[in-house]
């Protein structure tokens, strides 16, 4: 009865296998007929996941073929490909497919990490061989009979003159003629075995027992070797792998979002920052100096122009392409002034709708008023051009002719006469943002720290050098303080008091 039940169960499994194999063959045949086999864009075998499906179907089909002269055991070997059918599910879910592609894409990037870790392995391996080669063979032997101390056969000893902690009794002597511990597998005699030991220490698997063997045979002060390996392994090597995988995962997710976004794009818009007319004086009458550039954002995609140095009438003439996927999309335009230190200043901003165009509307080329960062109106305008096209089209919408009255007046585009005070302020601003002042300040700070570190308590009466030393140290402190005051004046006058205190380091 048991054999009959087993036979019926095997027959059920066999018929179920034929059923599923037939379903997989029909699926493959339908895709091949619909997309083509190899030739043409989007063909069946142009997708690697379809290649995996096709190989699985063909190898599974061989299992059910009766080949003349072939034994049943040979055909049963093709059943080993049955687990490949589970991989077919990966191609059906985009998240699983992305993870598999992520693992494959990480392999080239991990080559550098493997090379670095291999270099660390070799360095520590060479150190281990040079320090402890043959040391773990030490055992205690009786000086009269020459026999091995069987009671302590697993205990490693240190020879006379070595700093090891394993000592033999008075009637015994340590000789390095026995095998290494753990059936001669734990040894620093060969680079291969040392690399295995390094790996074991890095993964923190009974590494303390290895360290104790080295303590007994060499010295207690071998512990830094093992501590460094513990630091390099879990805290350095593993983190390198995680950084590569995490960075690649972020890129893969971004690419997936871009692909999903491209599938619903309506059209593309080209936004160009041409020129601007920025205010040259503040509401208090102070002269304003800018290093302006423009940041343009459409649907979370951001581009920025080059920086124009010290100009209130900058000209960029730069154009950027953005995909538009919503009728409510807007182009957010921020005009900013570059700063060497601290956050860049926002001069003004505006928003332009770019998701409401239709096929009859042409592009735009006009001047827009700019709002201040707090939303209030301000003097200043910027010239923006927009053109659009459908994703399937290659032609951009035409630009209109700009009228003369749309242009700013010529006198507005000219800078005011610069007085000596304004010129001096602009020069001080350039000096405050220069790399030379930053490097010089760092050098003076380092010198001041050395001077403070050199100061010590000395007797002016007994120590002949003390008086001159204190006088020179006081002169040095005066020089350092004078420079720091000069730096403060340059930054406050050049950048302005408000801008100066926006930087936390300046406040400190």
pLDDT at 410 (0 to 100): 38
pLDDT at 295 (0 to 100): 92
Give which of 388, 382, 387 is closest to 406, Cα–Cα.
382
How remote is the C-alpha of 391 from its chain's centroid? 33
Going through 230-289 in order, the beta strands assigned E by DSSP cover 267-277
Helix 466-495 to helix 420-432 angle (10° resolution) is 120
pLDDT at 415 (0 to 100): 43
Residues in the chain: 508
- Mean pLDDT by runs of 10 across the 508 residues of the chain is 61 80 84 78 75 78 59 58 60 68 80 84 86 88 85 85 85 87 85 88 86 89 89 79 83 72 65 84 63 88 88 88 76 87 82 66 80 80 84 70 44 48 78 84 82 62 74 86 89 78 69
**Residue 439 tokens, joined:** 């490097």
pLDDT at 294 (0 to 100): 93
397 exposure class (CB count in 10 Å sphere: 0-12, 13-18, 19+): buried
For residue 293, the SS3 value is: strand
The three-point CA angle 206-207-211 to 5° equals 130
What's the CA gap between 167 and 156, in Å, rounded? 9
**Residue 178 tokens, joined:** 């026995």
In our burial notation (b when 16+ CB lie closer than 10 A, e otherwise), range 377-387 reads ebebbbbbbbb
pLDDT at 154 (0 to 100): 83
pLDDT for 343-401, tens place per residue? Answer: 788 888 888 887 665 445 567 888 888 888 877 778 888 998 888 777 667 777 776 65
pLDDT for 206-228, tens place per residue? Answer: 888 899 999 988 888 888 999 98
Cβ neighbours of residue 193 closer than 8 Å, sequence gap 6 or more? 185, 186, 187
Answer yes or no: are the C-beta atoms of 133 and 188 closer than 8 Å: yes
For residue 447, the SS3 value is: helix
Radius of gyration in angstroms for the set of CA atoms belonging to the chain, rounded to a whole number: 39
Kind and range of the H or E run holding 12: helix 2-35
For residue 193, the SS3 value is: helix
Model-wide pTM > 0.85: no
Query: Beta-carbon neighbour count of residue 120 at 10 Å?
Result: 17
Location of structure tokens 């734990």: 186
What's the CA gap between 87 and 92, in Å, rounded? 10
User: DSSP class of residue 148?
Assistant: B
For residue 366, the SS3 value is: strand
pLDDT at 2 (0 to 100): 47
In our burial notation (b when 16+ CB lie closer than 10 A, e otherwise), range 454-482 reads eeeeeeeeeeeeeeebeeeeeebeeebee
How remote is the C-alpha of 234 from its chain's centroid? 19
For residue 283, the SS3 value is: coil
What's the CA gap between 10 and 143, in Å, rounded? 72
């Amino acid at each position: 009865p048991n054999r009959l039940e087993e036979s019926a169960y095997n027959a059920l499994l066999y018929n179920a296998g034929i059923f599923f194999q037939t379903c997989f063959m029909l699926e493959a045949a339908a895709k091949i007929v619909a997309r083509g086999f190899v030739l043409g864009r989007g063909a069946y075998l142009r997708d690697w996941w379809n290649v995996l499906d096709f190989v699985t179907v063909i190898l599974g089909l061989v299992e059910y073929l009766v080949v003349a002269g072939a034994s049943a055991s040979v055909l049963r070997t093709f059943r080993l490909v049955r687990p490949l059918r589970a991989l077919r599910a990966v191609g059906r879910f985009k998240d699983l497919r992305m993870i598999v592609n992520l693992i494959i894409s990480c392999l080239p990037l991990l080559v550098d990490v493997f090379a670095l870790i291999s270099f660390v392995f070799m360095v520590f391996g060479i150190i281990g061989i040079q320090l402890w080669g043959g040391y773990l063979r030490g055992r205690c032997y009786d000086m009269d009979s020459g026999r091995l101390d069987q009671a302590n056969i697993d205990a490693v000893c240190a020879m006379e003159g070595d700093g090891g902690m394993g000592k033999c009794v008075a009637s015994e002597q340590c000789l390095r003629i026995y095998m290494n511990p753990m059936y001669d597998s734990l040894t620093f005699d060969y680079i291969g075995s040392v690399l295995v030991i390094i790996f074991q220490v890095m993964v923190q698997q009974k590494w303390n027992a290895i360290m104790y063997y080295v303590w007994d045979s060499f010295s207690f002060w071998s512990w830094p070797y093992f501590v460094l390996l513990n630091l390099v392994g879990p805290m350095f090597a593993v983190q390198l792998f995680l950084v590569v995988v995490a960075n690649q995962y972020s890129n893969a997710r971004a690419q997936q979002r871009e692909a999903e976004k491209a599938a619903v794009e309506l059209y593309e818009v080209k936004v160009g920052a041409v020129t601007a007319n920025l205010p040259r004086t503040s509401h208090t009458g102070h002269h304003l100096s800018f290093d302006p550039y423009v940041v343009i954002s459409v649907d979370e995609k951001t581009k920025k122009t080059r920086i124009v140095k010290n100009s209130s009438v900058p000209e960029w003439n730069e154009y950027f392409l953005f995909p538009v996927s919503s009728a409510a999309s807007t182009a957010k335009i921020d005009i900013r002034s570059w700063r060497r230190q601290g956050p860049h200043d926002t001069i003004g901003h505006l928003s332009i709708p770019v998701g409401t165009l239709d096929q009859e509307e042409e592009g735009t080329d006009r001047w827009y008023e700019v709002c201040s960062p707090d939303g209030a109106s301000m003097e200043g305008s910027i010239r923006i051009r927009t053109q659009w096209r459908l994703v399937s089209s290659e032609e951009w919408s035409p630009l209109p002719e700009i009228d003369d009255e749309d242009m700013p007046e010529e006198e507005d585009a000219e800078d005011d006469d610069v007085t000596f005070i304004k010129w001096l302020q602009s020069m001080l601003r350039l000096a405050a943002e220069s790399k030379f002042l930053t490097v010089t300040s760092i050098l003076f700070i380092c010198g001041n720290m050395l001077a403070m570190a050199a100061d010590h308590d000395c007797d002016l009466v007994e120590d002949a050098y003390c008086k001159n030393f204190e006088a020179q140290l006081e002169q040095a402190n005066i020089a350092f303080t004078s420079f720091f005051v000069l730096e403060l004046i340059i930054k406050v006058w050049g950048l302005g008091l408000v801008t100066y205190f926006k930087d936390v380091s300046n406040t400190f």
